[in-house]
Amino acid sequence: MTGVPALAVRDLTVDHAGRGNPPTRAVDGVSLTLEPGGALVLLGESGSGKTTLARAVLRLSGRAARVTGRVELAGQDLLALDERALRPIRGRRVGYVPQDPAGSLDPLRRIGAQIAEVLLSHRVADGRAAARTAVPGLLERAGISEPGRAARSYPHELSGGQRQRAAIALAVCCGPELLVADEPTTALDALVRAQVLDLFAALRADLGVALLLVTDDLWAARRTGGAVAVMSGGRIVETGPVDTVLSRPEHPLTVGLVTARPSERR
Ligand SMILES: Nc1ncnc2c1ncn2[C@@H]1O[C@H](COP(=O)(O)OP(=O)(O)OP(=O)(O)O)[C@@H](O)[C@H]1O
| pLDDT recorded at residue 188 | 87
Instruction: Report the greatest alpha carbon distance in the chain.
Output: 56
Nearest CA to ligand 1 atom 3: 16
Q: Which residues of 76-104 are buried (b: 16+ CB within 10 A; e: fewer)?
A: eebbebeeeebeebbbbbbbbbbbbbeeb
Give how far Cα 212 sits from Cα of 42, 83, 114, 180, 183, Å: 7, 22, 24, 5, 11
Give the model confidence (pLDDT) of 212-252 as tens digits: 999 999 999 999 999 999 999 999 999 999 999 999 999 99
Per-residue confidence band for 266, with pLDDT thresholds at 50, 70 and 90 = very low
Give how far Cα 117 sits from Cα of 26, 47, 125, 143, 173, Å: 35, 35, 9, 21, 11
Average pLDDT on 196-204 reads: 96
Average pLDDT on 183-208 reads: 93
Nearest CA to ligand 1 atom 31: 47
Give the model confidence (pLDDT) of 155-184 as tens digits: 999 999 999 999 999 999 999 999 999 999
Average pLDDT on 37-65 reads: 94
- 70 vs 231: CA distance, rounded Å: 18
Nearest CA to ligand 1 atom 28: 47
| H-helix segments, 99-234 | 111-121, 128-141, 147-151, 160-172, 190-207, 218-224
CA of residue 88 to ligand 1 center, whole Å: 28
Per-residue confidence band for 187, with pLDDT thresholds at 50, 70 and 90 = confident
| pLDDT recorded at residue 262 | 56
| pLDDT recorded at residue 94 | 97
Give the model confidence (pLDDT) of 69-104 as tens digits: 999 999 999 999 999 999 999 999 999 998 888 888
| pLDDT recorded at residue 18 | 76
Overall pTM > 0.80: yes
Nearest atom of ligand 1 to the alpha carbon of 51: 22
* Spans of all domains in the chain: 101-174
| H-helix segments, 17-61 | 50-57
Residue-averaged pLDDT of the chain: 93
- 256 vs 126: CA distance, rounded Å: 52
| pLDDT recorded at residue 260 | 81
Average pLDDT on 183-196 reads: 90
Residues with beta carbon inside 6 Å of ligand 1? 16, 24, 26, 44, 46-52, 216
Per-residue confidence band for 211, with pLDDT thresholds at 50, 70 and 90 = very high
- In terms of C-beta distances under 8 Å and separation of at least 24 residues, what long-range contacts does 45-51 make, across chains too? 45/216, 45/232, 45/257, 46/216, 48/231, 48/232, 48/233, 48/234, 49/14, 49/231, 49/233, 49/234, 49/235, 50/182, 50/214, 50/215, 50/216, 50/231, 51/182, 51/183, 51/214
